[in-house]
Structure 1
């Protein structure tokens, strides 16, 4: 594959990333700058640059293909623009919860942004049993504000339609449509299934027509319910956090879709973190404290979203029908139902699909790993099929039981 396109795009190296940053005057030409590649995703190059005075910044550049597959899976570079613009839009609603965008370059498909290395990637930290007491509240606020203000309730409907044109994201939506809603539920080559799970998956996932019907409905919601501008890939690996601060990154999958998708994706990943804790328990740390913290965060994210969204509905709604008694409650109830189903899909696809997670994959003991993955599949099925999960407490009970 060529290293450059006819449009002038060239994938960066550490050296050329440093040259680029100097060319944009983030560092002086004679300054000694240390660079490192830190990206561990499948779609991008990510570099952290540090100057002599300690100034740090991040350069993230989109690749024209998925690294996990290679150049046989081409991807649009326009997703870099989408990510940058979404971060800028979200920054007007929740500036404390997203990184600052410093510079964008559509030709090189890159974004320069603030460095967040003083925080931890939530997935890695939760795997270690660390606690983030404000994580659920922060994501509840993040989703409530970003999703309400980009919906037909929070912005002029004609302005929203214009915005939808800018965030048509077919390449990355196709990834979600296939890897989230389709491939894990059928016997396809891209799936990655532990040997000890194969019989269970065949009987209880692929051959369960009731489950497949529920997944089909969830996928249809994703395909057709253009309610608000979603992050589109809101998981614990897309969040930096510490005990007091939370920052959401990587909205390159952003598009207009169902409000419940972002919430459900995040809840599904908290459930994964909870289920995986048993795989890391030791005689000195049974991980009960970590589990209790995760249970609290699962409840907190929805309770915060529900409260904040209802307040925004009451105080900032632009839709004349919004004042009709019972409309807000019915709308929020529908969001929750969607979120529960999407969380179920997330649990299953992260267990047997292409995009597995280190929560499970890093468990050293094979029996514990198999037990955790089996539990995740069972919980995922329950979330997709149950009609009795009406509250966040019921969601936690489904994850714990």
Structure 2
């Protein structure tokens, strides 16, 4: 499949009736000409008619991960069927919570193209929190939303036949591939993943700890085989756009039925990573760094409390039997374990770094950040039973990563 040029995109949109033949186009290749995307997989274009001000985003799905091609020159095959997964999941999420995802105007499966709402009035959350911007209600809103998604697609709520139909409808081979990348091939286990050399002894110790290997194997097995609910599976702050009043979830192409902890864990990892990253930015004023570290911990606490409250509320509303508290506790405990494993994916000394890690200027500071994230993961996986409340975990992060005590 040949990547589209800007001229190709404009011609395509006129042919499909999205724009009129006389449109005065202004087209931007978002991945090549802007710095508003991270960890990209597909080609993305923003197209605007300068006369009518109408604008859309065009996404061309490719049979490989574009970021990997640019970083290594190698094409790692991806199923084109993930476009179907993305469209179906976006439609379902919009029914569950109207407006939580962008509108889709056209889906052309044969061409691997879909046309969607232009979200350029919103900002990518990872970039914003890296720049020191706070969104006070984010944790509460997302925790409640994820509880609803988990509950309404779970065997606790669905009949066996309904769940079987939903699992088949959202079946995705790419979600299982993502599982290997995020668990059994993560830097905690795969010592070939590059990190700064002084962290080698710590990495060896973690990779050879049987209890840690057992926990990661448990998370991987739960991801692939539990089919507890429909999950986004790649829900981090680079797949969320927002402003003070609006929030959109993006890039659902890896969605599928998996473990209930997946989305809570993946999202929590973004705030663990942001929290630790401020240790490596001494050039930023101390007041900003401490404020954002406090914000990150507040979001983590809000996420978990809101999830717990909403899940139990829905359980009671629908009169379900069984131990709701135990169900939620198991989800949230595994979410913390998975969060620390997931955070290690973005700290390696290569193209996989997230923007809060890329901004670290000194190699020694990068090594320090890597060590802290690895230590957080090690301790969490070995001593999870010590965290009785989410505040206990936030206190742990504060103790080992707070700038003022380093």
TM-score by length of 2: 0.89
Q: 1:399 is paired with a residue of what secondary structure?
A: helix
Aligned to 1:346: 342
Report Cα offsets for 1:58-107 as digits up to 9, x if no partner.
Answer: 11121101230555421110101101110100000112322122221111
d(CA) in 1 for partners of 2:145, 2:151 = 10
Question: Could you tell me how far 1:42 is from its partner in structure 2?
Answer: 4.1
Aligned to 2:100: 97
Aligned to 1:133: 136
d(CA) in 1 for partners of 2:154, 2:378 = 30
- Do 1:233 and 1:265's aligned partners in 2 also have CA atoms closer than 8 Å? yes
Asked whether 1:383 is paired with 2:377, we answer: no
d(CA) in 2 for partners of 1:114, 1:43 = 18
d(CA) in 1 for partners of 2:245, 2:382 = 36
Question: Could you tell me how far 1:285 is from its partner in structure 2?
Answer: 4.2
Q: 1:185 is paired with a residue of what secondary structure?
A: coil
Question: Could you tell me how far 1:187 is from its partner in structure 2?
Answer: 4.1
Taking only aligned residues, the RMSD between alpha carbons, in angstroms, comes to: 2.0
Q: 1:182 to 1:285 in 2, by over 3 A?
A: same
Aligned to 2:293: 291
Aligned to 1:7: none
> What does 1:275-314 align with in structure 2 at a 5 Å threshold?
275-282=276-283, 284-286=285-287, 287-314=289-316
Question: Could you tell me how far 1:367 is from its partner in structure 2?
Answer: 2.4
> What does 1:29-40 align with in structure 2 at a 5 Å threshold?
29-39=21-31, 40=38
TM-score by length of 1: 0.90
Unaligned runs of 5+ in 2: 32-37, 400-406
Q: 1:256 is paired with a residue of what secondary structure?
A: strand
d(CA) in 2 for partners of 1:46, 1:165 = 29
Q: 2:187 is paired with a residue of what secondary structure?
A: helix
Aligned to 1:334: 330
- Do 1:131 and 1:243's aligned partners in 2 also have CA atoms closer than 8 Å? no
Aligned to 2:54: 55
Aligned to 1:250: 251
Question: Could you tell me how far 1:275 is from its partner in structure 2?
Answer: 0.8
d(CA) in 2 for partners of 1:150, 1:162 = 11
Aligned to 1:212: 213
Q: 1:50 is paired with a residue of what secondary structure?
A: strand
Aligned to 1:44: 42
d(CA) in 1 for partners of 2:261, 2:171 = 19
Aligned to 1:17: 9
Aligned to 2:396: 398
- Do 1:263 and 1:339's aligned partners in 2 also have CA atoms closer than 8 Å? yes
Question: Could you tell me how far 1:280 is from its partner in structure 2?
Answer: 2.6
Pairing partner for 2:121 from 107, 113, 118: 118
- Do 2:233 and 2:255's aligned partners in 1 also have CA atoms closer than 8 Å? yes
d(CA) in 1 for partners of 2:161, 2:104 = 27
